[in-house]
Amino acid sequence: MLFIPMKGVVIAPRERCLCVDGGVNFIPRKTIQKIDIHFPGPACKYTEIIVTLKGEGEQKCLNSETSFAKNLIKKAQKINGP
Amino acid sequence: MLFIPMKGVVIAPRERCLCVDGGVNFIPRKTIQKIDIHFPGPACKYTEIIVTLKGEGEQKCLNSETSFAKNLIKKAQKINGP
């Protein structure tokens, strides 16, 4: 099992929710290297958004209640058809 | 260095582009566990979308020229402000 230690987020093969708290509301776009959208599954019933920052690759949970997160999730769910 | 073998995609700490070919145009939503949006950076000048499928966790590159991919990237880039 690979655990990558990081503030407020446990990255492991999805055996449970990755975001242990609500997550941050604000992340400057230019600091972002990657955005992961984890859809609900056996391990976690929530859609979670994990942002990897440039540089050291720190990861943060994005509060999925923010309007940005809601819009991104809505868009991601439309991968095929409405 | 951690290499996770997978068709058409090399997952490693981003030292170069992850998608060695154009990627697939179609992935049924219900088969998707996770969507990764990799923004351009020192390692790769392209925005790349990598989809992890349910089950074995197979990963595929999504063709970033598809309308879905373009919309998702546009949305993801608006994380803070227009």
Q: Does A9 touch chain B (CB under 8 A)?
A: no
Chain B contact present for A54, CB below 8 A: yes
What is the pLDDT at residue B9?
53
Chain centre distance of CA A60: 7
Query: Which tens digit of pLDDT belongs to each residue from B32-60?
Result: 999 999 999 888 999 999 999 999 899 99
Contacts of B36 in chain A (CB under 8 A): 34-37
**ipTM of predicted assembly, 2 dp:** 0.75
Q: Does B33 lie at the interface with A, CB-CB under 8 angstroms?
A: yes
CA distance A41 to A6: 22
Mean pLDDT of A49-77: 90
Spatial separation of the C-alpha atoms in residues B47 and A34, rounded to whole Å: 9
CA distance A75 to chain B (A): 6
pLDDT tens string A15-43? 789 998 888 998 888 899 999 999 998 88
